[in-house]
Amino acid sequence: MSQLPDWMLWAVLGVVEALVIAGIGLMGYSAGVNSTVKEAQRSAVIAGAARWSSNRETGEAQFDFVTCLKPEAK
């Protein structure tokens, strides 16, 4: 059984390390987007532009924007 040359071993380790770093970065990005969305939803509810309600079919919470029926209201 032949062994891999040293340069190939280091290349494989480098690729694995790059993938791990990319995965960690992607997880951090995803967490940041999720927290931004939650804060935006929270602010919209506080401002009265949206509300949380329950989906009648599934029973899960859903986020709904409140639409104004008076176009002259701002």
Domain coordinates in residue numbering, the chain? 18-74
Average pLDDT, stretch 34-63?
A: 88
Contacts of 48 (CB under 8 A, 6+ apart): 66
- 60, pLDDT greater than 80: yes
How much of the chain exceeds pLDDT 70, in percent? Answer: 88
- Write down the pTM of the prediction: 0.61
Q: Taking the mean position of all CA atoms in its chain, how far away is CA 27?
A: 9
Residue, of 56 and 19, whose pLDDT is higher: 19
Residue, of 71 and 50, whose pLDDT is higher: 50
How much of the chain exceeds pLDDT 90, in percent? Answer: 43
